[in-house]
């Protein structure tokens, strides 16, 4: 443990409880008094929030809501501009967050990786090889922490306003939404029979111990305490009430992938890279921190696509970044604004449970759970590689011993020791991780195993300069570690294996599916699919179910379906849904992205982090599609049956295991 100096100030500010606004929660309005509370028999203060009796998929129905014209200027009286996202008390007035249900989104058959004449006609799904679910980017957020970037969402209309990752009213209900998702998984398990679950990273928002424990305790079915202030009277506020989580069905094992928010402060900065910044102290003291605009890119950066100098920004105490007043019904932001507008520094309740976890400490928490398996995959890490790279978190497993399908969990998040000053959202593999991946791919090939790779950062879909693309470490002036493999070589090696059927990822908060076709002149079986799962923090707040089938012609089908949590009307989780819809209506971020595949940024700088399997001719990817449903103005979902052919050796092995 790091030394905890200058910590808990016993005179920390107590938030005065505001007058509660008891309003009936009805369809068509947002209010944070919940009518769906049921109190457990063991304690009158431990509410439970059962989900709806109707558990449906997006194949059955889709959420439907209007998309009003985005307002550029605040104070228009016509609605809310992006910098007014925090005006939750005005959502009902302007109709934000209202929704109904529209028709379902069909499952689209996709043959991108097949021979051109393949139609799938008269092909049947014969053997189900696996059934599982994926969740991603949950971002369980301690809304009352003092070292956030909340103020920038209001103060920076260009770079801060679109960033719902630094502020969104969904922060109030992240624990409740995950609890509803877990209950929905349990309900679907009755009919779908899940073999396992995969969590694809960004479980917590800012590496905090209490955020990590919320995640594990919700899955374990423990009592959750959302209030992290020292004012226990806030426990009576609707979204602050302690509640009993349902817990994941004990016969569903679940496995973990780490994300950048699990390892980096707000997913961006290595906590211990520069001790002079006192970032570790900022988690647990009684102050709201003052820093510069970390979202302001360097103008004319000579190191493009390295666009940010977070170290410099953190040394500039320009703005108090604010926190959420947990005593206010709508989650009022307090302690936010330019430093020169404050007479004295704003204080906050200190809490040692907010401490930042190192990567090793974060992994260790996954051994302190009652759900299974103990370690949730990290117990399978090869100690030889862990000795070579401290915090090594790659592993693989067979969900069923008698089914030749291997899950390879590949940590492709940046290393906290890389010394980069840039935002740490890039894809990265160390030499140790590359060596391990090659060994795993070779082993699976020799054993005639199908392969699914699970990572946090998707490949070859993020636009250059987005901070989510493959890390071009050679252009980072401060980098002490470097990417051990280019994106081109990584994709080529995955293709060359031939048994990789798909890569699963999160990170971008979208439901994109992409086809990596086989190289020119190669048989179609060298292609693979990439399937992204959206966030539970932002709209559409969905998870995925995936079922892998062996077809009658010994091809593979992957059926990927988006699922809305079956929130009960009037519950905190339904309020979270309404607020995610409201945020999308106000901000209107592009959650149906398809980046042009450029060759040179600004027409000058060569780009090596775009898609190497397509021409870099500034065109979008025709394999990336999103669902369209009549009667649903805006869809960010995609349901598909993804076909994949296999090489002759794999086909023969499967014929022996599953004869016709």
Distances (CA, A) of 49 to 28, 34, 314, 400: 20, 10, 40, 33
Q: What is the DSSP string of 467-528?
A: S-SB--GGG-TT-SS--SS-HHHHHHHHHHHS-EEEEEE-SSSS--EEEEPPPTTS-GGG-E
Q: Which pLDDT score, from 0 to 100, does residue 607 have?
A: 84
Whether 18 maps to a domain, the answer reads no
Query: How far is residue 205's CA from residue 212's CA, in Å, rounded to a whole number?
Result: 9
Q: Which pLDDT score, from 0 to 100, does residue 595 have?
A: 94
| Predicted confidence (pLDDT) at residue 9 exceeds the cutoff of 50 | no
CA 454 from centroid of its chain's CA atoms: 13
Whether 413 maps to a domain, the answer reads yes
Buried b (16+ CB within 10 A) or exposed e, 41-80: eeeeebbbbebbeebbbbbebbbbbeeeeebeeeeeeebb
Q: What is the mean pLDDT of residues 161-186?
A: 98
Whether 476 maps to a domain, the answer reads yes
317 within 8 A of 292, measured Cβ to Cβ: yes
Confidence of residue 18 (pLDDT cuts 50, 70, 90): very low
Q: Give 446's contacts (C-beta < 8 A, 6+ positions apart).
A: none
Q: Give 270's contacts (C-beta < 8 A, 6+ positions apart).
A: 264, 416, 417, 418, 419, 420, 424
540 within 8 A of 515, measured Cβ to Cβ: no
Q: What is the mean pLDDT of residues 51-58?
A: 98
Query: How far is residue 331's CA from residue 142's CA, in Å, rounded to a whole number?
Result: 12
What's the mean pLDDT when you consider all of the chain? 93
Whether 521 maps to a domain, the answer reads yes
Q: Which pLDDT score, from 0 to 100, does residue 36 have?
A: 54
The dihedral sign for the CA sequence 586, 531, 426, 386: positive
Whether 33 maps to a domain, the answer reads no
Whether 302 maps to a domain, the answer reads yes
| Predicted confidence (pLDDT) at residue 440 exceeds the cutoff of 90 | yes
Q: Count CB-CB contacts under 10 A for residue 410.
A: 24
- Look at the chain and report how many structural domains it folds into: 1
Single pTM value for the model: 0.93
Higher-pLDDT residue of 67 and 22 is 67
Q: What is the mean pLDDT of residues 249-262?
A: 99
Q: What is the mean pLDDT of residues 237-244?
A: 95
Query: How far is residue 336's CA from residue 329's CA, in Å, rounded to a whole number?
Result: 18
Q: Which pLDDT score, from 0 to 100, does residue 30 have?
A: 46
| Predicted confidence (pLDDT) at residue 244 exceeds the cutoff of 60 | yes
Confidence of residue 532 (pLDDT cuts 50, 70, 90): very high
Whether 16 maps to a domain, the answer reads no
Q: Which pLDDT score, from 0 to 100, does residue 299 have?
A: 86
How many alpha carbons fall within 13 Å on the CB side of residue 622? Answer: 6
Q: What is the mean pLDDT of residues 23-37?
A: 41
pLDDT > 90 in the chain, percent: 89
Q: Give 577's contacts (C-beta < 8 A, 6+ positions apart).
A: 63, 99, 177, 541, 564, 565, 567
Q: Which pLDDT score, from 0 to 100, does residue 23 have?
A: 25
Whether 253 maps to a domain, the answer reads yes
Confidence of residue 1 (pLDDT cuts 50, 70, 90): very low
Q: Give 140's contacts (C-beta < 8 A, 6+ positions apart).
A: 174, 175, 178, 203, 204, 205, 211, 212, 214, 215
Q: Which pLDDT score, from 0 to 100, does residue 48 have?
A: 96
Structural domain harbouring 575:
38-657
Q: What is the DSSP string of 515-556?
A: EEPPPTTS-GGG-EEEEE---SSSTT--EEEEEEEEETTS-E
Residue 266 region, left (φ>0) first, then alpha (ψ -120 to 50), else beta?
left
CA 325 from centroid of its chain's CA atoms: 25
Residue 283: which of 358, 216, 231 has the closest Cα?
358
| Predicted confidence (pLDDT) at residue 24 exceeds the cutoff of 70 | no
- Tens of pLDDT, residue by residue over 334-366, are 999 999 999 999 999 999 999 999 999 999 999
Confidence of residue 42 (pLDDT cuts 50, 70, 90): very low
Q: Which pLDDT score, from 0 to 100, does residue 33 have?
A: 47
CATH number at residue 499: 3.60.21.10
Residue 294: which of 155, 462, 412, 201 has the closest Cα?
155
**Range list of H helices, 268-396:** 279-284, 310-314, 359-365, 383-388
Q: Which pLDDT score, from 0 to 100, does residue 181 have?
A: 99
The dihedral sign for the CA sequence 23, 28, 34, 37: positive
CA 302 from centroid of its chain's CA atoms: 31
Number of H helices, E strands in the chain: 13, 24
Q: Side by side, which strands form the sheet with 319-324?
A: 290-291, 319-324, 333-338
Q: Kindly report the backbone phi and psi dihedral angles of residue 493, in degrees, each rounded to the nearest multiple of 5, phi listed first.
A: -70, -35
Q: DSSP letter for 131, please.
A: E
What is the radius of gyration, based on Cα positions, of the chain?
24
| Residue 576, SS3 per DSSP | helix
Q: Which pLDDT score, from 0 to 100, does residue 441 have?
A: 99
| Predicted confidence (pLDDT) at residue 300 exceeds the cutoff of 90 | no
**Three-point CA angle 551, 552, 557, nearest 5°:** 10
Query: How far is residue 626's CA from residue 635's CA, in Å, rounded to a whole number?
Result: 7
């Amino acid at each position: 443990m790091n030394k905890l100096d200058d910590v808990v100030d016993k005179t920390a500010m107590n938030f005065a409880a505001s007058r509660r606004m008891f309003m009936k929660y009805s369809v068509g309005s947002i209010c944070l008094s919940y009518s769906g509370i049921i109190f457990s028999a063991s304690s009158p203060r431990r509410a439970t929030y059962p989900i709806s009796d109707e558990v449906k998929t997006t194949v059955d129905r889709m959420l439907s809501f209007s998309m009003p014209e985005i307002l550029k200027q605040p104070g228009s009286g016509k609605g809310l501009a992006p910098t007014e996202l925090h005006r939750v008390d005005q959502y009902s007035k302007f109709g934000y967050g209202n929704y109904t249900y529209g028709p379902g989104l069909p499952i689209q058959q996709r043959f991108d990786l097949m021979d051109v004449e393949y139609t799938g006609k008269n092909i049947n799904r014969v053997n189900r090889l696996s059934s599982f679910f994926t969740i991603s980017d949950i971002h369980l957020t301690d809304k009352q922490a003092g070292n956030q970037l909340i103020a920038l969402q209001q103060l920076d209309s260009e770079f801060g306003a679109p960033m719902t990752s630094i502020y969104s009213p969904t922060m109030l209900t992240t624990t409740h939404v995950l609890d509803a998702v877990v209950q929905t998984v349990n309900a679907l398990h009755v009919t779908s029979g899940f073999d396992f679950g995969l969590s694809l990273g960004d479980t917590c928002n800012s590496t905090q111990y209490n955020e990590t424990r919320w995640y594990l305790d919700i899955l374990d079915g423990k009592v959750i305490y959302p209030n992290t202030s020292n004012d226990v009277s806030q426990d009576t506020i609707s979204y602050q009430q302690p509640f009993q989580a349902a817990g994941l069905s004990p016969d569903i094992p679940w496995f973990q992938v780490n994300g950048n928010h699990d390892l980096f402060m707000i997913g961006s900065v290595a906590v211990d890279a520069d001790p002079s910044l006192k970032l570790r102290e900022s988690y647990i003291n009684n102050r709201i921190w003052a820093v510069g605009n970390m979202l302001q890119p360097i103008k004319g950066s000579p190191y493009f696509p390295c666009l940010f100098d977070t170290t410099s920004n953190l040394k500039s105490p320009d703005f108090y970044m604010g926190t959420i007043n947990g005593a206010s019904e709508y989650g009022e932001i307090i302690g936010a604004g330019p430093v020169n507008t404050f007479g004295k520094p704003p204080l906050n309740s200190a809490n040692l449970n907010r401490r930042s976890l190192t990567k090793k400490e974060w992994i260790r928490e996954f051994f302190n759970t009652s759900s299974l398996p103990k370690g949730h995959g990290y117990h399978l890490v090869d100690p030889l590689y862990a000795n070579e790279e401290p915090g090594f978190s790659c592993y693989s497993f067979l969900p069923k011993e008698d089914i030749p399908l291997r899950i390879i969990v590949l940590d492709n998040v940046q290393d906290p020791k890389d010394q980069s000053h840039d935002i740490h959202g890039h894809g990265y593999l160390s030499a140790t991780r590359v060596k391990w991946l090659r060994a795993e791919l070779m082993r699976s090939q020799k054993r005639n195993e199908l392969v699914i790779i699970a990572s946090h950062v998707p490949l070859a879909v993020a636009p250059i300069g987005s901070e989510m693309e493959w890390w071009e470490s050679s252009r980072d002036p401060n980098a002490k570690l470097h990417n051990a493999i280019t994106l081109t070589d990584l994709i080529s090696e995955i293709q060359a294996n031939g048994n990789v059927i798909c890569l699963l990822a999160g990170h971008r908060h979208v439901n994109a599916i992409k086809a990596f076709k086989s190289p020119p002149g190669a048989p179609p079986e060298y292609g693979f699919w990439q399937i992204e799962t959206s966030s539970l923090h932002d709209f559409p707040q969905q998870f995925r179910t995936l079922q892998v089938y062996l077809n009658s012609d010994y091809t593979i089908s992957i059926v990927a379906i988006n699922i809305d949590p079956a929130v009960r009307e009037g519950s905190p989780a339904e309020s979270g849904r309404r607020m995610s819809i409201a945020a999308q209506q106000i901000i209107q971020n592009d959650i149906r992205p398809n980046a042009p595949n450029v060759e040179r940024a600004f027409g000058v700088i060569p780009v090596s982090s775009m898609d190497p399997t397509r021409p870099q001719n500034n065109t979008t990817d025709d394999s990336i599609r999103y669902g369209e449903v009549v009667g649903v103005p805006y869809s960010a979902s995609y349901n598909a049956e993804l076909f994949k052919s296999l090489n002759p050796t794999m086909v023969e092995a499967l014929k022996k295991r599953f004869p016709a």
